[in-house]
Structure 1
Amino acid sequence: MATTGVQPLSRTWGWLRARPSAVLMLVQLAGILAYPFLGDSPTGRGLFSTIGLLVLALAVFAVRATQALTWVSVVLGVPVVVLTVLEAVRPDDGIVVASSVLHAAFYLYTAYALIRYMFHDDHVTTDEIWATGATFTVVAWGFAYLYAAVQVVWPGSFIASVDPESERTWVELLYLSVATLTTTGLSDVVPVLPHARSVVMIEQIAGMLYIALVIARVMALLSARQARREIGRGPDL
């Protein structure tokens, strides 16, 4: 009986270990759904920070599966953890800017590591397919943190149809980042100052290049793999 209960857990753990990119992407998607419920209360900020730390840990775990340098993620991750805690306790402007910039650097390096992972060879694994989604969410997080830093350094960089005079919340900035990266243009959060518009334009270009270079390559490799399988089966008699 005990063995029967252990086997599903062992299989689940094996699946998670074999697909770190999938875990990273799924946790980030779950965070998107959870953020609106957290609110701006001390408890909400604490839970927000906890989710952020969990994503950081998963990102380091995902990078370990790639050909990138894990120590870079650790060097960036340790001060990010410290600043995340400080930001939750005392959200001073200087701390917010430092935390946002380091968060952005960490996530964008993670995106680089995942892209390098997908370009390492000419074979597409299941986790590399998951990595296409994880890379997208990681880039969206990285630019959202850049927007947070821009908003502090240049107040009034972003306005929205609801309460335009206030600073934009994290959910609003993430919403802007995802809308920009997907080039859907559906966000009601608008960059109005030059520096904010510059960063948004960089993300728009990054989104187009990601689809043109990374997604296109993965799809081509998948098509080639399917073609090889069909050749291996031979013609139907």
Structure 2
Amino acid sequence: MTYVQRLADCLTRLRKASMAALLALLVVSLFGIPFFSEPGSQVSRIVQDVLFSLILAAGVVTSKERPGVFPLIALGALIAVTVRCASWLFPADYTLAIRDETALAAVALIGATLGMIVFGPGKVTFDRIDGAIALYILIGMIWAYAYQLVNLRFPHAFSGTTLGPGPENSSTWIYFSFVTLTTAGYGDIVPVARQARSLANLEGLIGQLYPAIVLARLVSLHLAGGSSGTDKN
């Protein structure tokens, strides 16, 4: 085995490990931490910021096999982490919008690249299934940032719950996003502005189509020993 082949194998193993790590970090950050910590506390914010940075790092490593977009993703992740760190030095009113905007951009870039990896040509393996699940969770995360930005730009865009600005409300937007994505629709938070309704409609549509068509297709192909396209290797 040549040095180039060994390096390629090492990068493949690293990418597979980063895919599983990304999924684990997303689950812990979005569903574990809010369950065990008090929203708005300093400890909760520190843990969330650390986990967010690790999520971006795992996403950057996962995107290494896409050299064309890797520098852009790495730059976006670096900017998002830098802004998040700087937000500790300034009042939330001055930093929340740019904090959410940079986070939305970085996560969206990682999600788009992850989609190309998961659904690209090649055999469907367990790491691709992990990536498909991680992508589904990333969609909910992306929409959570979008909802918070809409609420900042258009006051009273949502009704039913008091939703003031600040990092302490991030868990509420995560909750609303996944309620919409899974079309559970409890009704405690209602989009009122047309921008909010448009986002909610689009997320609900994705939430219906993604598991039924895409994720089920990947699992069935894996069980059948097939692939998601023409294997170029």
With the length of structure 1 as denominator, give the TM-score of the two structures.
0.78
What is the alpha-carbon distance in structure 2 between the residues aligned to residue 15 and residue 121 of structure 1? 18
2:22 matches 1:21: no
Alignment of 1:13-162 (within 5 A): 18-31=16-29, 32-36=31-35, 37-65=37-65, 69-160=69-160
Question: Partner letter of residue 42 of structure 1?
Answer: Q
1:121 to 1:87, Cα distance in 2 relative to 1, 3 A: same
1:16 shift after superposition? 6.8
What is the alpha-carbon distance in structure 1 between the residues aligned to residue 141 and residue 147 of structure 2? 10
Match of 1:165 in 2: 162
Return the structure number with greater relative CO, CA threshold 8 A, min gap 6.
Answer: 2
Match of 1:233 in 2: none
Match of 1:7 in 2: none
Return the index of the structure with the highest Cα Rg: 1
Match of 1:215 in 2: 215
1:218 to 1:157, Cα distance in 2 relative to 1, 3 A: same
What is the alpha-carbon distance in structure 2 between the residues aligned to residue 125 and residue 208 of structure 1? 24
Question: Partner letter of residue 62 of structure 1?
Answer: T
What is the alpha-carbon distance in structure 1 between the residues aligned to residue 198 and residue 88 of structure 2? 28
- Across the two proteins, how many residue pairs are aligned to each other? 210
Question: Partner letter of residue 21 of structure 1?
Answer: M
What is the alpha-carbon distance in structure 2 between the residues aligned to residue 24 and residue 178 of structure 1? 18
What is the alpha-carbon distance in structure 2 between the residues aligned to residue 196 and residue 94 of structure 1? 23
After the TM superposition, which of the residue ranges 125-134 and 15-24 deviates more from structure 2? Answer: 15-24
Question: Partner letter of residue 33 of structure 1?
Answer: G
Q: Give the match's secondary structure for 1:225.
A: coil
5+ residue gaps, structure 1: 1-13, 227-237
| Identity over aligned pairs, percent | 24
1:127 shift after superposition? 0.6
Q: Give the match's secondary structure for 1:88.
A: coil
Question: Partner letter of residue 118 of structure 1?
Answer: V
What is the alpha-carbon distance in structure 2 between the residues aligned to residue 190 and residue 65 of structure 1? 41
1:22 shift after superposition? 1.5
Contact 1:35 1:48 in 2 (8 A): no
RMSD: 2.5
What is the alpha-carbon distance in structure 2 between the residues aligned to residue 212 and residue 177 of structure 1? 19
With the length of structure 2 as denominator, give the TM-score of the two structures.
0.79
Match of 1:232 in 2: none
